[in-house]
Amino acid sequence: MTDQLDYLKKQASLGKLSRRDFLGKTSALGVSAAAAGTMFATVARADTPKKGGDFKLGSVGGESTNSLDPATYASQVPFHNGKQFGDTLVDVTGDGSIKNILAESVESSADAKTWMFKMRKDVEFHNGKTMTAEDVMKTMERHSNEDSKSGALGIMKGIESMKVDGDMFSVTLKDPNADLPYLMADYHLIIQPNGGMDAPDAGIGTGPYKLEVNEPGVRHAYTKFENYWADDAHFDSVEIIVINDATARTAALQSGQVHMINRVEPKVAGLLDRAPNVSVTSTAGRGHYVFIMHIDTAPFDENELRLALKHAINREDMVDKILRGYGSVGNDMPINSSYPLFDASIPQRSFDLAKAAEHYKKSGHDGSPIVLRVADAAFPGAVDAASLFQQSAAQAGIPLEIKREPNDGYWSEVWNVQPFCASYWGGRPVQDQMYSTAYLSTADWNDTRFKNPEFDAMLLAARAELDNAKRKDIYSKMGYMVRDEGGLICPMFNDFVEAHSTDLMGWGSNGNQELMNGLITRDMWFA
């Protein structure tokens, strides 16, 4: 089958197969239409990028309260703004490896405690200044100092000291960390002149596009920066238009007013893909839709009850109905095969009413309804997913009571406060970061109250381990622990479902963040 598929892909890339024929022929090979659409978009690109054109993105997740200060980025539109005007030291590629951006080379000491970044020369900020290692250090200081409110504060905590020596920026850590470059790829850590200490929200960086218009919640317009240091980024101008309404986004793409949109609703993705001149893509990501239990609160302090609930959820059904197939089943741990060092041999937990009933009986729960709090703010379709969960649990004799909460204030009043609720986790580039963010005993966002000294010790050991085979082994054990003892019920991982006009070339799969990790305006071009 692979041979045939490769042949078809090649034909498509040569332009010998139309999209329709490609979909038809691959479906005969048992490839789903969603997967085939993605494949077609990947292969059907001209070889050499062309310069020029005015690119327009219609994006969800922008508000009139947005700031350009990278420390405050928490939704899609600010994230894409950062990708236009700014650069980070390094970035993560689609296959999970590190790519140097503003750093020319990255080296570590043998114990992974000290990391040295040699900075690229002759990189210019949009205000005309030349970037120095000093700017880099100031940036890191701004995100890590005590009164910082940066979204990257959590990952900067492990830094003991930083220093600059010529064009060399070095970081010394409190504890060894083999994954430090991944942390430096965080999208908040955009290098700004003097670290953004003077004007954090000026929108000045070293990125390919220079800010022209900043109307938060409406649009952000950029033109190509003439002294940009790299040779990617092919458009003359980029405009990010805030379109929070899903139907308006689809209509804007179909009527040609924008060239690309994010967050296509799974229920319309299939229909949209049939429209002429539009290509729908789906990228496996690391974000997951979850139900979380506080394992230090009754009745969830009883592991038998947790196991009962974990067995009583029908994962396939949820991927089918909530994600319409644009996703994959979860295994009650926050890690999936998109992560480096993932152990694929951990058995998949399945929907098993007999086991659920058995664990429920062993838990000795008094039969009073277990309250599950949900709102669609947790993830799209959360309320429906909870109903599905309620029904399948009822079949195992477990009474769930759904309490619907308002979307407004969900993250401050319900999540991380109530013992059992629906939630969403965006992925992290590496396992260490995911576990440190939400499963370490001391983590601020330990939303399942999973506190296990043995687990913590293993996490630190894996972090310092430079031998990948050994690391993989430790991560596998940790995965088992969270899966079998933790408070996380993870029924599904969602894909990034996006769509672009067929005039655009160069689409590639990168599931670190949406829209090719935000690299659409660097890697894509107009045919």
Partner 1 sequence: MHPIIKLVAQRFSLGILLLVAASVLIFGLTEALPGDAAQAVLGQAATAESLANLREEMGLNRPATTRYFEWFGGIITGDLGTSIVNRLDIAESVGKRLGNTLFLAFWAALVSVPLAIFLGLLAVRYRNRWPDKLISGVTLTTISIPEFLIGYVLVYFLAVKLGFGSALAMINDSMTLFEKLQSIVLPVMVLTLVVLAHMMRMTRAAILNVMQSAYIETAELKGLSTFNVIAKHAFPNAVSPIVNVVMLNLAYLVVGVVVVEVVFVYPGMGQFLVDAVTKRDVPVVLACGVIFAAIYIGLNMLADIISILANPRLRHPK
The footprint of partner 1 (CB under 8 A) covers 58, 63-67, 72, 74, 147-151, 153-154, 201, 213, 215-219, 241-245, 247-248, 251-252, 254-255, 257-258, 408-409, 411-413, 415, 423-424, 444-445
Residue 151 Cβ vs partner 1, minimum distance, rounded to whole Å: 5
Contact in structure between 315 and 408 (CB atoms under 8 Å): no
- State how far the Cα of 373 lies from the Cα of 404, in Å rounded to an integer: 6
Q: Output the smallest distance, CB 430 to partner 1, in A.
A: 19
Give the residue from 245, 222, 247 showing the smallest Cα distance to 235.
222
DSSP state of 230: S
- Closest distance of CB 473 from partner 1, Å: 32
Closer residue to partner 1 in complex, CB, 29/417: 417
What beta strand segments (E) does 405-479 contain? Answer: 420-425
Min dist CB 415 to partner 1, Å, is 6
Contact between 207 and 225 (Cβ < 8 Å): yes
Q: How far is CA 226 from CA 208, 353, 469, in A?
A: 8, 63, 45
Distance CA 12, CA 10 (A): 5
Of the pair 28, 218, the CB lying nearest partner 1 is at 218
CB of 63 to partner 1, least distance (A): 4
Task: Show the tokens assigned to 15.
Answer: 């332009």
Task: Quote the CA–CA distance of 513 and 79 in Å, as a whole number.
Answer: 9
β-sheet bridge partners, residue 165: 168
CA-based Rg of the chain, rounded to a whole angstrom? 24
> Quick check: 272 and 278 in contact, CB under 8 A?
yes
Q: How far is the CB of 444 from partner 1 (least distance, A)?
A: 4
Task: Determine the Cα angle at 61 with ends 60 and 66, to 5°.
Answer: 135
Q: Which is nearer to partner 1, 276 or 453 (CB)?
A: 276
Cβ-contact 326, 499 below 8 angstroms: no
Q: List for the chain the helix, strand, coil content (%; round to 5).
A: 35, 20, 45
Q: How far is the CB of 167 from partner 1 (least distance, A)?
A: 32
Contact by Cβ (8 Å): 467, 271? no
**Cβ at position 116, least distance to partner 1 in Å:** 29
Q: How many CB atoms lie within 10 A of CB 367?
A: 10
Interatomic CA distance for residues 203 and 67, integer angstroms:
9
Residue whose CB is less far from partner 1, 42 or 148: 148
CB of 5 to partner 1, least distance (A): 34
68 vs 516 by CB, closer to partner 1: 68
How many of the other CB atoms lie within 10 Å of CB of 30? Answer: 9
d(CA 32, CA 16): 21
Q: Which is nearer to partner 1, 148 or 509 (CB)?
A: 148
Q: How far is the CB of 248 from partner 1 (least distance, A)?
A: 5
C-beta of 117 vs 410, nearer to partner 1: 410
Nearer to partner 1, 22 or 439 (CB): 439
Find the shortest distance in angstroms from Cβ 186 to partner 1. Answer: 12
Amino acid (one-letter) located at 336:
N
Residue nearer to partner 1 on the CB measure, 243 or 333: 243
In the chain the first and final C-alpha atoms are separated, in Å, by 31
Residue 377: CB minimum distance to partner 1, A:
9
Both structure tokens of 35: 């997967």
Give the nearer residue to partner 1 in terms of CB position, either 69 or 465.
69
Comparison of 10 and 174: residue with beta carbon closer to partner 1? 174
Residue closer to partner 1 by CB (options 14, 213) is: 213
Distance between CA 107 and CA 116 in Å, rounded?
Answer: 5
Q: Residue 33 region, left (φ>0) first, then alpha (ψ -120 to 50), else beta? A: alpha
Q: What are the C-alpha distances in Å from 173 to residues 108, 155, 158, 464?
A: 11, 11, 6, 11
